[in-house]
């Protein structure tokens, strides 16, 4: 089981001070947060991709490459990479390059994005969102697995004898997650390829994501990748902690009330009851996170959203200390209990290389 954080990369005014960080400060803060994630023993840092203010991460592999140079164990990922509006050829190249620089500590999460104008800005049609996700990923999948690619599709200029360089590290493409908030087609896509499925699991009630994950698990088995329990599931989560529950609520409330996504709507109490958001003590976070397993089954990756809604960097770093020291060690232990042996661990490059070699050896033996 892997634990980490995912960042949206929003530049948001701190509602308690009225101060808005500059883009430069926010970018540096994201890097500091990623380095802290490794320091406190987390496994994964993932960044969003956006192409409009108030968001800064328009160029994820640039940021992740820099973080790769300054970390040793952290897996670098995205949340998400826009498979609809990016050229799949460029995604293939960028992430293969990042894989080499980071010695394999790279995976990637495909998403369609939620900002309408990004489609026309990048020359695409939002009504084609799902077909773009399907066709572009089919090409990306092929580019990482075949050296000479002849390809023709609906959305991109054709390719003749094209080789995407560099080739994936150890001929093992980055592990891919498919993230979706509402589309069964994407759960189906993830299942078809035997890739991972990530439910962001924040902002909405768990029943909503449960349906998508159940579908993904069932179809994963249908396509012969293993049992439903062996499907690779990632979940998001959102927490704010202080040693004392009341302190957490008091401190987080102004951020909640003014948050870009849900502010000025339900109360913090209503929202924590209806969605996976937890505001309270580390113990409460542990209990609520452990309960995810009852809803979604044993899973492989848990990412928390920690830096958003204008929380200052200092607070976020304190949150990561609590997460790394008090929450994740207990979660690792508890999630390991009763976990069936056939349920896979979170995906790593080393394990994928080993699996690929074992497969080759088996083929040779036949």
Give the one residue of 36, 50, 167, 219 binding other proteins; rule: CB under 8 A: 219
Give the one residue of 24, 264, 337, 366 binding other proteins; rule: CB under 8 A: 264
CA dist., res. 20 & res. 15, Å (int): 9
User: What are phi and psi for residue 201, nearest 5 degrees?
Assistant: 55, 25
184 contacts other proteins (rule: CB under 8 A): yes
228 contacts other proteins (rule: CB under 8 A): no
Give the one residue of 270, 325, 345, 359 binding other proteins; rule: CB under 8 A: 270
24 contacts other proteins (rule: CB under 8 A): no
Q: What sign has the CA pseudo-torsion 243, 246, 251, 257?
A: positive
Give the one residue of 156, 208, 225, 352 binding other proteins; rule: CB under 8 A: 208
* Closest distance to other proteins from the beta carbon of 154 (Å): 6
Q: What angle do CA 328, 332, 334 make, to 5 degrees?
A: 115
* Closest distance to other proteins from the beta carbon of 220 (Å): 12
Residue 62, number of CB atoms within 10 A of its CB: 12
- Identify which of residues 78 and 189 has a Cβ nearer to other proteins in the complex: 189
215 contacts other proteins (rule: CB under 8 A): yes
- Identify which of residues 130 and 249 has a Cβ nearer to other proteins in the complex: 130
Antiparallel, parallel or unpaired: β 278-280 and 175-179: unpaired
What residues contact 131, with CB distance under 8 A and at least 6 apart? Answer: 154, 155
Give the one residue of 177, 203, 296, 304 binding other proteins; rule: CB under 8 A: 203
> Can the peptide bond before residue 166 be classed as cis, meaning omega within 30 degrees of 0?
yes
Show the binding pattern over residues 288-327: x = contacts other proteins (CB under 8 A), - = does not. ----------------------------------------
How far is residue 91 from each of residues 30, 72, 82, 102, 200, measured CA to CA in Å? 22, 23, 9, 16, 22
Residue 39, number of CB atoms within 10 A of its CB: 14
153 contacts other proteins (rule: CB under 8 A): yes
Give the one residue of 95, 209, 240, 271 binding other proteins; rule: CB under 8 A: 271
Q: What sign has the CA pseudo-torsion 21, 201, 109, 82?
A: negative
144 contacts other proteins (rule: CB under 8 A): no
Residues in binding contact with other proteins, number by CB under 8 A: 32
Antiparallel, parallel or unpaired: β 278-280 and 301-304: unpaired
Show the binding pattern over residues 109-138: x = contacts other proteins (CB under 8 A), - = does not. ---------------------xx--xx--x
CA dist., res. 334 & res. 271, Å (int): 26
Longest dimension (CA), the chain: 68
Binding-site ranges for other proteins (CB under 8 A):
130-131, 134-135, 138, 153-154, 184-185, 187-189, 191-192, 203-205, 208, 211, 215, 219, 223, 261-266, 270-271, 274-275
């Amino acid at each position: 089981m892997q634990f980490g954080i995912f960042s949206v990369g929003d530049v948001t005014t701190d509602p308690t001070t009225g101060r808005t960080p500059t883009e430069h400060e926010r970018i540096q803060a994201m890097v500091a947060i990623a380095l802290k994630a490794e320091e406190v023993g987390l496994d994964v840092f993932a960044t969003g991709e956006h192409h409009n203010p108030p968001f800064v991460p328009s160029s994820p592999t640039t940021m992740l490459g820099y973080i790769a140079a300054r970390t040793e164990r952290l897996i670098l990922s995205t949340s998400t990479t826009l498979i609809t509006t990016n050229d799949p050829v460029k995604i293939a190249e960028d992430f293969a390059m990042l894989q080499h620089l980071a010695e394999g500590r790279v995976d990637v999460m495909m998403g369609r994005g939620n900002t309408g104008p990004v489609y026309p800005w990048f020359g695409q049609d939002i009504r084609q969102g799902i077909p773009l996700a399907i066709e572009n990923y089919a090409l990306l999948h092929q580019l990482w697995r075949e050296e000479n690619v002849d390809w023709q599709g609906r959305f991109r200029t054709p390719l003749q004898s094209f080789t995407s360089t560099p080739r994936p590290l150890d001929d093992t493409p980055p592990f891919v997650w498919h993230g979706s908030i509402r589309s069964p087609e994407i759960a189906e896509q993830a299942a078809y390829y035997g890739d991972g499925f990530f439910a962001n699991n924040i902002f909405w009630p768990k029943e909503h994501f449960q349906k998508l994950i159940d579908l993904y698990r069932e179809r994963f088995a249908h396509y012969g990748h293993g049992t439903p329990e062996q499907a690779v599931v990632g979940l998001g989560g959102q927490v704010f902690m202080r040693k004392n529950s009341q302190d957490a609520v008091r401190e987080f409330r102004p951020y909640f009330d003014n948050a870009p996504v849900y502010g000025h709507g339900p109360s913090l109490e209503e929202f924590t009851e209806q969605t996976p958001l937890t505001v309270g003590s580390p113990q409460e976070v542990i209990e609520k996170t452990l309960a995810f397993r009852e809803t979604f089954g044993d899973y492989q990756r848990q990412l928390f959203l920690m830096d958003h809604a204008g929380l200052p960097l200092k607070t976020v770093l304190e949150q990561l200390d609590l997460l790394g020291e008090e929450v994740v060690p207990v979660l690792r232990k508890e999630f390991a209990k009763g976990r069936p042996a056939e349920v896979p661990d979170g995906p790593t490059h080393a394990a994928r290389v080993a699996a690929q070699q074992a497969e080759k050896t088996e083929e040779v033996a036949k």
